[in-house]
Amino acid sequence: MYICLCNAITEKAVRDCAAKGNCSLEQLASELGVGAGCGRCRECAHDLLRDLRQEATGTLSASPA
C-alpha cells in the first residue's frame, strides 16, 4: 500500500526505515521524503509508526468488531 503518493513511498519502505531505527516523522521525512509534498501522508505515516512501536512492544490491541 502507498503511504505517500507524491513521493511513491510504500508501507514496506516505511516499515524498512523504521526497522533501521527511524521512528519519528522527522526521521521518515529526512530518510524517505514523507510529507515533503502535499503532507496528507503524515497522519497515515504517524499511525503506521505507532502501530509498529506497539507491535515491537507487544501492546498492539485488537480492533473492535
User: How far are the Cα atoms of 31, 42, 50, 65 from residue 26, in angstroms, in the given order?
Assistant: 9, 10, 14, 33
- Domain locations in the chain? 2-57
pLDDT value of position 56: 83
- The residues of the chain scoring below 50 in pLDDT are none
pLDDT value of position 42: 94
Q: How many CB atoms lie within 10 A of CB 42?
A: 16
pLDDT value of position 64: 54
Spatial neighbors of 14 by CB under 8 A, at least 6 apart, are 3, 28, 32, 34, 45, 48, 49
pLDDT value of position 40: 93
Q: Would you state the cell numbers that stand for residue 33, as one nine-digit string?
A: 521524503
pLDDT value of position 45: 94
Q: Which CATH class is domain 2-57?
A: mainly alpha
Structure pTM?
0.78
